[in-house]
Structure 1
Amino acid sequence: MLLSEITNRPVMDTNAAQSIGQVDSLVVTARPPRIAALRLKKTNGGGTLLTWQNVHAIGPDAIMARANAREGTTDDLTKQAAACRNLTGRRILSERGTEIGLLQDIDFDPESGQVLDLLTSSGTLPGKGLLGIGSYAVVVQEGDCKSFGSVS
């Protein structure tokens, strides 16, 4: 599943059967490369982060979340969420500092939250090569970039 496919999708509380917000973006961790949370917009009270373990199901029309799902976010998650703001369009750099391209989308497993691939302006990189995400760039392993002509 792609980030672009779930952006703006409503998030519903499974107990109250009401909307708690819409998906704005993903909060991604590099080690291991997985979704840590969904960033929400247009929330009805509460926080703006929905931790991945509280995502019950991702359906074609809505994302279902457990009751009180937005409670209990940690400082680490809040810091990672800040670094992951506006991921699409972010520069992708190799671990040696060579610019690979721009992040266009993220492919992830909707069951486990594992990052499968990073779709870039230069091609597709395996998610397992993700080393770090910061406010300036996404850093990936050099070996995963060899097929792109700009990396020596």
Structure 2
Amino acid sequence: MLLSEITDRPVMDTEAAQSIGQVDSLVITPRPAHITALRLKKTNGGGTLLTWQKVHAIGPDAIMARAHAQEGADEDITEQAAACRNLLGRRILSERGTEIGLLQDIDFDSESGQVQGLLTSSGTLPGQKLIGIGSYAVVVQDS
């Protein structure tokens, strides 16, 4: 699944059967590259982050989250979430400092949250090459 496919998709609380927001972007942890949280926009109470553990299912029309999904989500991953703000369009650099291109999309497994690939302006990089995410660039292993 691609980040672009779930952007703006509503996130529903399974217990209250109401929307708690819409997907804005992903919070990713490198090594191994996986989704830590979904960043939400237009939230109804709670925080703006939904930890991956509280994502119940990603359906074609909505993302289902466990009851009280947003409680305490912001506390542990605030710094990481700040670095992952506005990932798409960010520069991709090799660990030697060579610019590889721009991040156009992120391919991930919707069950496990594992990042499978980074779609760039110059091709696709395997997710396991991701070694760092900063406010300036995404850093990947040299080939």
- Residue 149 of structure 1 corresponds to none
Q: Which residue of 2 aligns with 1:131?
A: 131
The alpha carbon displacement at 1:36 in A equals 0.2
Output the TM-score relative to the length of structure 2. Answer: 0.98
Residue matched to 2:70? 70
Q: Shift of residue 71 of structure 1?
A: 1.4
Which segment is superposed worse, 70-79 or 40-49?
70-79
Moved more, 115-124 or 70-79: 70-79
Residue in 1 that maps onto 2:93: 93
* Alignment gaps of 5+ in structure 2: none
Partner of 1:121: 121
CA distance in 1: counterparts of 2:76 and 2:129, whole angstroms: 22
Residues 45-64 of structure 1 correspond to what in structure 2 (within 5 A)?
45-64=45-64
Structure 1 residue ranges (4+ consecutive) displaced by more than 6 angstroms after TM superposition: none
Give the partner amino acid of 2:20.
I
RMSD: 0.8
Match in the other structure for 2:30 = 30
Cα displacement (A) at 1:73: 2.5
* TM-aligned CA deviation for residue 127 of structure 1: 0.2
Larger Rg: 1
- Partner of residue 148, structure 1: none
Q: TM-score, length-normalised on structure 1? A: 0.92
Question: Conserved in 1, the CA contact under 8 Å of 2:33 and 2:127?
Answer: yes
Deviations 1:55-95 (A, max 9, x none): 00000000000011111235441111000000000000000
* Aligned twin of 1:12: 12
**Post-superposition CA distance 1:83-125 (Å, at most 9, x none):** 0000000000000000000000000000000000000000000
